[in-house]
């Protein structure tokens, strides 16, 4: 008796390959989606940390100035910082609506694209944007900075605008240290000497050496000056249209913008800090 053996037809083989390919594609997409979600979560966490740091620094300067307000002007280290923040404040811009031609207020609550925010007519240039160097805001009024007084380092603390010594007008920093980011919002610090924080660093380094620990702060190559701020900035807006520096309060819009993985629209994390002006409101 002859037994006939029948193998798979070409159609059956093609169907099997198609099913395998479909399952493989779905599995790879699910894996990529999970990796992208994890990456976006990490980026949002990093951005939120930077935004929160800036918000806390603003509140710290404001509260410290109020606490020291009754001291002699030369003895108050936070007076010059608060005066600088007041002088930076701008009134809301008026722009022409591209559809109707009517004059409308510039919407500072929305970021349509990161490049637009950093463009010639964007928020950064139009509102004298800045960031705060939180590593140089020191509570000890006796602490020196490279042998100089606290007054001389405002430009290293308020980064992005040039601060005049007379406490007058401010202008956009030509070095343009506020830029878009290729990764996520972050503030990048550059290497400085081990005397960058004066007595505070020397004491910390001495304590570490006594404990046979690492000298810390990147092996004493102290990173305490901002090289650039990528994808994060602050704009200050006063409620007084005629003279923003005499405003009852200032709204500090802390904005971040970056292009996350797997997303066409820009990712943003933002907040607003309202600080009242003790020079006007008693």
What are 5-50's pLDDT values in tens digits? 666 678 888 888 888 888 888 888 777 777 778 888 899 999 999 9
Q: Taken in order 159, 277, 197, 206, is the CA torsion positive or negative?
A: negative
User: For residue 2, is it within any domain?
Assistant: no
Among candidate residues 252, 256, 253, the one with its CA nearest the CA of residue 267: 256
User: For residue 34, is it within any domain?
Assistant: yes
**pLDDT at 200 (0 to 100):** 40
134 CB-near residues (< 8 Å, 6+ apart): 53, 54, 57
The two structure tokens encoding residue 62 = 């404001």
**pLDDT at 234 (0 to 100):** 93
**pLDDT at 280 (0 to 100):** 79
Element (DSSP H or E) covering residue 42? helix 10-67
User: For residue 45, is it within any domain?
Assistant: yes
264 vs 54, 112, 128, 150, 156, CA distance in Å? Answer: 27, 11, 28, 44, 35
Instruction: Specify the number of domains making up the chain.
Output: 1
Domain range for 159 is 10-276
pLDDT surpassing 60 at residue 107: yes
User: For residue 151, is it within any domain?
Assistant: yes
- Would strands 249-258 and 223-230 be described as parallel, antiparallel, or unpaired? unpaired
Strands (DSSP E) contained in the chain are: 94-96, 103-105, 131-132, 158-159, 161-163, 170-172, 178-179, 186-191, 223-230, 232-238, 249-258, 267-268, 271-276
User: For residue 38, is it within any domain?
Assistant: yes
pLDDT surpassing 70 at residue 230: yes
pLDDT band at 60 (very low <50, low <70, confident <90, very high): very high
Ranges of H-type helices in 68-126 = 79-88, 114-117, 123-126
User: For residue 281, is it within any domain?
Assistant: no
pLDDT surpassing 80 at residue 120: no
User: For residue 193, is it within any domain?
Assistant: yes
Q: Higher confidence at residue 185 or residue 94?
A: 185
pTM, whole model, 2 decimals? Answer: 0.74
User: For residue 131, is it within any domain?
Assistant: yes
pLDDT band at 210 (very low <50, low <70, confident <90, very high): very low
Average pLDDT value over all residues in the chain: 75
**pLDDT at 75 (0 to 100):** 59
pLDDT band at 162 (very low <50, low <70, confident <90, very high): low
pLDDT surpassing 50 at residue 76: yes
């Amino acid at each position: 008796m002859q037994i006939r053996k029948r193998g798979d037809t070409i159609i059956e083989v093609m169907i099997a390959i198609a099913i395998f390919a479909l399952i493989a594609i779905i599995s790879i997409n699910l894996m990529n989606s999970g990796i992208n979600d994890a990456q976006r979560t990490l980026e949002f966490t990093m951005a939120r940390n930077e935004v929160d740091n800036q918000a806390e620094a603003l509140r710290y300067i404001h509260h410290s100035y109020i606490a020291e307000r009754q001291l002699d002007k030369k003895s108050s280290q936070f007076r010059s910082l608060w005066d600088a923040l007041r002088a930076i404040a701008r009134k809301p811009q008026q722009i022409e609506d591209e559809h109707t031609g009517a004059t409308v207020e510039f919407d500072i609550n929305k970021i349509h694209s990161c490049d637009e925010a950093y463009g010639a007519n964007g928020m950064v240039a139009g509102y004298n944007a800045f960031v705060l160097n939180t590593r140089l805001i020191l509570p000890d009024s006796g602490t020196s900075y490279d042998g100089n007084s606290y007054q001389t380092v405002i430009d290293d603390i308020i980064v992005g605008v040039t601060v005049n010594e007379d406490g007058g007008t401010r202008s956009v920093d030509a070095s343009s240290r506020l830029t878009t980011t290729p990764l996520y919002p972050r503030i990048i610090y550059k290497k400085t000497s081990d005397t960058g924080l004066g007595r505070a660093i020397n004491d910390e380094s001495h304590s570490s050496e006594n404990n046979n620990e690492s000298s810390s702060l990147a092996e004493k190559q102290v990173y305490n000056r901002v090289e650039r701020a990528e994808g994060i900035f602050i704009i200050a807006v006063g409620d007084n249209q005629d003279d923003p520096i005499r405003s009852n309060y200032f709204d500090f819009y802390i904005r971040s913008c970056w292009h996350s993985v797997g997303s066409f629209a820009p990712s943003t994390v933002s907040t607003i800090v309202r600080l009242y002006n003790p020079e006007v409101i008693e």
